[in-house]
Amino acid sequence: MVLRATLCHVINRDKLLLKEATRGVSKGKWNGPGGKFEKGETPEQCAVRETFEETGIKMLKPFFHGKLYFFMDGKRRLSIEGYLFSTRKFSGRIRSSEEGPVKWVRISKLPMDKMWDDDRYWMGLMLKGLHFDAYIYYDKGNKKVKEYTIKIKGKVDL
């Protein structure tokens, strides 16, 4: 069964809001907030809810960049269908949650060695406001991307 989830990036000038996951598949990694859909939720509703629950930030006008298709554990079978959102418009103050500590990180100093390996391939496209889909194939230990394809679909009006 394919897991459907969101991944959200809140952008504040030259910084991204990142969370160090304390559990789940991302445990120990710095990542944007996001998570699994609840029954009846749209991708945008899930993105807004998960971001607020995990960071205290309410995303205003989230932009849908596209889907991230993850093939995990060295397999060719789809594991996760991720919906990628970002926003530069938000309200609230950051706060950590049981999901993990959150902090603003300068984009020029992202801790790529502590993030998912695939981030290096599509993060720049998201920051430029592009609309794209990415197909990401991980090795058996889910440490390194062994193959990826990105299909750029156009620019999002940020």
Q: What is the CATH number of the domain that holds 64?
A: 3.90.79.10
**pTM of structure:** 0.94
Distance CA 40, CA 46 (A): 10
pLDDT, tens digit (0-9, with 9 covering 90-100), for 83-94:
999 999 999 999
Tell me if 55 sits within 8 A of 17, measured CB to CB. Answer: yes
Q: How many domains does the chain have?
A: 1
pLDDT, tens digit (0-9, with 9 covering 90-100), for 37-62:
999 999 999 999 999 999 999 999 99
Helix (H, G, I), strand (E, B) or coil at 128: coil
Write the single-letter amino acid at 124: G
Containing structural domain, residue 136: 3-155
